[in-house]
């Protein structure tokens, strides 16, 4: 995102959990940073191939959208904020990236009938990751996450 100034925020539904979990422990970084190697990550050039999801051309930005995701937001990087600059361990390693949404795509399946810009909350079931676990809007986990195999202490 920092290099190109563009991204697509693809919001999967809870029923897409197996596709998303296939991407766990993969990174586009090559070589894989040592801290990620210790956590079990591996380099993955073709994340679409690994996940089984389908790339779809974006209209405003270069990165592709994920065809199966019910909500896709094309965005450009507005600003990058460095975090923890005074911390000896984390300084220079953490950033917060602010984006500007340029185009939103929403599947008709989750819209309120007759309203092209209103999502029906009774139809939209987003996939949520909380503390390394997958959740939907129903109580309980949707599926065990492979990311949870990394001890939380390794993130300290």
Q: What is the CATH number of the domain that holds 134?
A: 2.30.110.10
* 126 vs 17: CA distance, rounded Å: 10
Name the pTM for this structure.
0.85
Range(s) of the domain holding residue 119? 6-149
* 72 vs 111: CA distance, rounded Å: 14
- Counts for the chain of helices (H) and strands (E), in that order: 3, 10
Q: What percent of the chain has pLDDT over 90?
A: 76
Q: Is residue 110 part of a domain?
A: yes
Tell me the two tokens of residue 45: 């050039």
Q: Is residue 155 part of a domain?
A: no
**pLDDT for 145:** 83
* 125 vs 108: CA distance, rounded Å: 14
Q: Is residue 60 part of a domain?
A: yes
Torsion from C-alpha of 94, 145, 149, 52, nearest 10 degrees:
-80
**pLDDT for 149:** 85
- For tokens 């220079």, what's the residue? 92
Average pLDDT, the chain: 92
* Closest-CA residue to 14 (of 124, 91, 148, 114): 124
Per residue in 24-72, pLDDT tens? 999 999 999 998 999 999 999 999 999 999 999 999 999 999 999 999 9
Domain count, the chain: 1
Phi, psi (deg, nearest 5) at residue 147:
-65, -30
**pLDDT for 156:** 62
Per residue in 109-153, pLDDT tens? 999 999 888 999 889 999 999 999 999 987 677 778 888 888 877
């Amino acid at each position: 995102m920092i290099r190109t100034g563009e991204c697509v925020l693809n919001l999967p539904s809870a029923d897409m959990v197996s596709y998303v979990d296939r991407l766990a422990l993969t990174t586009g970084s090559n070589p894989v940073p040592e801290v990620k190697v210790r956590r079990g990550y591996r380099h993955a050039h073709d994340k679409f191939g690994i996940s089984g999801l389908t790339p779809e051309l974006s209209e405003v930005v270069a990165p592709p959208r994920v065809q199966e995701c019910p909500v896709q937001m094309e965005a450009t990087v507005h600003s990058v904020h460095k975090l923890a600059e005074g911390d000896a361990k984390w300084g220079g390693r953490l950033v917060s990236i602010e984006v500007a949404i340029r185009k939103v795509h929403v599947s008709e399946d989750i819209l309120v009938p007759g309203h092209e810009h209103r999502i029906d909350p009774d139809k939209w079931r987003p996939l949520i990751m909380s503390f390394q676990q997958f959740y939907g809007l129903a109580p309980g986990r949707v599926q065990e996450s492979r990311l949870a195999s990394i001890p939380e202490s390794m993130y300290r």
